[in-house]
Amino acid sequence: MNSETKAVWVSPIKKHLDNPTSLRLSINAHCWGCMGGDIDPEGRVLTMRAIRDCRSEFCSLNSVRPYRNGGDMLNELTPDELASYGSKSLSELLKKPVSA
């Protein structure tokens, strides 16, 4: 990435629509929509935490949901977003469970 290129976040639903035969993208899009990510695209970290912390016993995708590893969440954030959180506050935010 050159210095003039700015990273742009693309929602899991958009990624799935661009490649509808990908099983991984289908799972990611399903979880994103289920946890309300399509309603509040600016609340990405909260949606990622909700997916990570999902405890649905009846969802057949639960064991393959994205963000089970907090590092996966860091890969989804743009460099500007990472800088705006700061390393300590972001790591604390990712560890904190979503309240029910």
Looking at the structure of the chain, the number of domains it has is: 1
Residue 33 confidence (pLDDT): 92
pLDDT at residue 14 greater than cutoff 80: yes
Asked if residue 77 is part of any domain, the answer here is yes
Structure-token match 């935010």, residue found: 93
Please say if the pLDDT value at position 3 is more than 70. no
* Per-residue pLDDT tens digits for 46-100: 888 889 889 898 999 999 999 887 666 767 777 776 676 665 565 666 666 555 4
CA distance 68 to 35: 14
Q: Of 1, 3, 100, 84, nearest to 49 (Cα)?
A: 100
Is residue 100 in a domain?
A: no
**How far is it, in rounded angstroms, from Cα 9 to Cα 84?**
15
pLDDT tens track for 15-26 = 999 999 999 999
Q: What range does the domain containing 24 cover?
A: 12-95
